[in-house]
Homo-oligomer: A and B are copies of this chain.
């Protein structure tokens, strides 16, 4: 697949600065650009690379004005990062999609599959499962009884969806994801834990993406709910009866305990832990590795374990390595004051 700068500029409706006939056949990051690649410049921190990159084409924002000679052909667009995303979409769409039901799969007689479906070998589709149009179910995926899957869903290899869960339109579940395993619920009697049956389910609304090996537990009663547009990275734990608000994103290895409600438009850094029965307000930002043990209001920006205001967090973090000095200093001051008191009395 070879494209000229002219073809790319036409596709993106961008403006060419340089040679419109230069050809590329691959992408590269600007700092790793090679001949016959196209790179992009969006983060100003990377601007200096544009003067040395070997990439033949660089996508830049309309307001970019070079301060030195640039050997690459530039294509100016309103948003270089979005333009790159469009090009990646284009390239991705050129891979012929998987289609058809491979022979060694298991599709229950009572399952209903809509048009234009892929079911890979060794995938298992249980009783009364409903699957929408244009769905791809990769090899070794497991779809338990009574699961409903919307349109345009992609379920990668080895995903496990327990019975009665619901997966909305356009969701993407990466390899190893487990949706609907039992929540962690026990009653303790004389030191021994007895299982509380978990008879609820999990609902993923539309446009949810779930990263590899992430786990979302079924509710004890009712539903664990992941709202529209939520994006979860890898190895995240969402416990039973949680609700994650629209367009909230979480980096890898976050853990959310049971019955916690996270608002809309929140951003959680990696390895954050949130206690049970907590409410996180809309548009909250929670720094990586934070521990949340109480409700946070809308628009909170917090960090630390336990978490507090992020601007104070970094100030305190600078002091912590100085604590041994502070400790000694206080004890010196204490002695000096004693001495002063003695002198005065």
Residues of A within 8 A of B (CB): 27-29, 32, 81-82, 84-85, 88-89, 91-92, 102, 104, 106, 120-122, 124, 138-140, 142, 144, 156-158, 160, 162, 172, 174-176, 178, 181-182, 184, 186-187, 189, 191-199, 209, 211-213, 215, 217, 220-222, 229, 231, 233-235, 237, 239, 241, 247, 249, 251-253, 255, 257, 265, 270-271, 273, 275, 288-289, 291, 293, 304-306, 308-309, 312-313, 315-324, 326-327, 329-330, 333-334, 336-337, 340-341, 343-344
Contacts and interface: CB of A to CB of B under 8 A. Distances in A.
B142 A157 contact: yes
Contacts of A340: 337, 340-341, 344
A181 B159 CA distance: 12
Given A181-B156, A305-B289, A324 B315 contact: yes
Contact of A323 (B239, B270, B316, B344): B316
A332 to B, nearest CB: 8
A74 to B, nearest CB: 18
22 contacts: A27-B199, A29-B222, A81-B187, A88-B197, A104-B104, A122-B140, A139-B142, A140-B158, A144-B157, A174-B178, A175-B181, A181-B212, A181-B234, A191-B265, A211-B217, A213-B235, A288-B293, A289-B289, A312-B324, A326-B326, A326-B330, A343-B344
A174 B183 CA distance: 10
Contacts of A265: 191
Contacts of A28: 221-222
Contacts of A304: 320-321
Copies per complex? Answer: 3
Given A160-B175, A316-B323, 15 more contacts: A29-B222, A88-B197, A120-B124, A124-B139, A157-B160, A172-B182, A176-B178, A184-B251, A184-B252, A235-B255, A239-B252, A288-B293, A319-B324, A329-B334, A336-B341
A211 B221 contact: no
